[in-house]
Chain A
């Protein structure tokens, strides 16, 4: 059963077509890599799927709800981590967790309990009372991801979550993504790191607003006769 379904999705800004009639679906529990060059339309497409932006035409269904008509229900069922770090820098670690958990309707007791678990899991026990702005980038990103999935959404959208993060932290971050997927959370992730693309169950590659390829990394490599995802990406992007 597909948890994200987009049909002929198009988004235009004036004369510029950012997303050009894309159709795809993502299965439950899948880690779906949404690749493409800068400006290919990844973020725009993701914002449409999250209900942050209205599509010019086409339709999308997320977690069983029509994004255009049942936006609020969609929002209850998703988590989102934007390209730009956007937790509150002037709030402490636990205060950020508490705020977003509260927004999704969790009670005080539940929040307290889960906050402990999350902090332990992240190894952030000592940083509980640290202002978020004082955390290193990698830690911030791990925290942002934990906050995005704190309310157990059906889908989590991650927009370049590992940009600027060191290799060791990136590996840990991907471990967290796998753990979330094992719990049944569908992960929709954009990245520019092709080694990360290999970790995905399936990837799509967007070029100039269109999806040029959509398959498992292995099948894509075979089809294009490429040694790795990096070569796959280069060939598809250069062909356009």
Chain B
């Protein structure tokens, strides 16, 4: 009986005007476009330089700023008020103003000041941009000291430098962090919500009624709906592993075995939630809206964009009930740190719990008889 139902699902899937395209296009968009745009790296900060000194030392500073990958020396202004206009018009994010007696004071007194004004409308860009620029200025100061210019007064004494080393993602490559999480999103959309929408569309068209008068049991019906999407999900995710390796040279440090174990449990948990939605919806549109509502919350509270640990405590408490969060942690940890199933036991238990909970709810809420 199951064989015939699954056969039917595949025929319908293949004949669908939109779904097969979606299944191919979605992983491509997710992996080709998203890692570049869903990016918190601050680059291309536009700096407006107000050089009141026009000396050798001030132009060296300007050169140093513009040679950094993070900054574009977008404009030079003759005065602060002119520079302010370029901030207001959005052409510049930062103003770096050099005092008229910059070189003279450096030589005479061994110190001089520059002024930094930051557009903080975008807090992250402003904060990170100003701290990068401060680094460059400090770096320049250290450089001047190390050159031990004979005419400089105070020598560098007792200064120290911090050398950070970054574990697991040494080059702080944001894409390496985003790609595994985007795969989670992909599998969530394909395996959680497509089968739910499919079931509701059978309700809408009335075909479910014809099946309800047959001896097809509810478990058989549901399994026949889910298996094709599970298969599609596994193929798509494997395809996206290949894409990640090819495009970003990104392969998991841990084993694929670990990943597939978790995918299995996660898909099970997710399908259950999808079924619950389908059980309470009578129209595809209704199911779509409900799914959309939950997807929004689940994604924003999963740590995809912003780390869960920096959310307020009450929000962190809510994320305990978010299966997406656990699976994203797993994917990132396996991909970047090489964690094994044993080290991911808490996540495994949480996801198993979700799987049992959601599927029990789905079974209880499914009604063949009204």
> Are A99 and B370 in contact, with the CB atoms below 8 A?
no
> Are B215 and A75 in contact, with the CB atoms below 8 A?
yes
Residue of A nearest to B16 (CB): A90
CA distance A54 to B12 in the complex (A): 32
Known interface pairs A99-B5, A103-B5; A89-B214 also in contact (CB < 8 Å): no
Known interface pairs A88-B12, A90-B15, A95-B8; A54-B213 also in contact (CB < 8 Å): no
Which of B8, B211, B369 contacts A91, CB < 8 Å? B8
CA distance A46 to B5 in the complex (A): 26
CA distance A56 to B35 in the complex (A): 58
* Nearest CB in chain A: distance from B211 CB, A: 8
> Does B365 interact with chain A (Cβ within 8 Å)?
no
CA distance A115 to B206 in the complex (A): 24
Known interface pairs A80-B210, A82-B210, A91-B11; A53-B370 also in contact (CB < 8 Å): yes
- Sample of 20 A–B contacts (CB below 8 Å): A50-B213, A52-B212, A52-B369, A54-B369, A54-B370, A71-B369, A75-B215, A82-B210, A85-B206, A86-B205, A87-B210, A88-B8, A90-B11, A91-B11, A95-B11, A98-B4, A102-B3, A102-B4, A102-B5, A104-B215
* Nearest CB in chain B: distance from A238 CB, A: 33
* Nearest CB in chain B: distance from A109 CB, A: 14
Chain A residues near B369 (CB, 8 Å)?
51-54, 71
Residue of A nearest to B8 (CB): A99
Residue interface bits B214-235, CB-to-A below 8 A is 1, else 0: 1111000000000000000000
Chain B residues near A99 (CB, 8 Å)?
4-5, 7-8
Known interface pairs A75-B213, A82-B206; 20 further A-B residue pairs with C-beta atoms within 8 A, sorted by A's residue number: A52-B209, A71-B369, A75-B214, A78-B213, A80-B210, A82-B209, A88-B12, A89-B205, A90-B16, A95-B8, A95-B11, A98-B4, A99-B7, A100-B214, A102-B4, A102-B7, A103-B215, A103-B216, A104-B214, A105-B1
> Does B207 interact with chain A (Cβ within 8 Å)?
yes
Residues on A facing B (Cβ under 8 Å): 50-54, 71-72, 75-76, 78-80, 82, 84-91, 95, 98-100, 102-105
Chain B residues near A82 (CB, 8 Å)?
206, 209-210
Chain B residues near A102 (CB, 8 Å)?
1, 3-5, 7
* Nearest CB in chain B: distance from A25 CB, A: 21
Residue of A nearest to B1 (CB): A103
* Nearest CB in chain A: distance from B20 CB, A: 13
CA distance A50 to B369 in the complex (A): 10
> Are A52 and B216 in contact, with the CB atoms below 8 A?
no
Chain A residues near B206 (CB, 8 Å)?
82, 84-86
Chain A residues near B211 (CB, 8 Å)?
103
B6-24 residues with Cβ-Cβ distance < 8 A to A are 7-8, 11-12, 15-16
Chain B residues near A75 (CB, 8 Å)?
213-215
Chain B residues near A100 (CB, 8 Å)?
210, 214
Chain B residues near A79 (CB, 8 Å)?
213
Residue of B nearest to A79 (CB): B213
CA distance A16 to B207 in the complex (A): 27
Residue interface bits B338-369, CB-to-A below 8 A is 1, else 0: 00000000000000000000000000000001
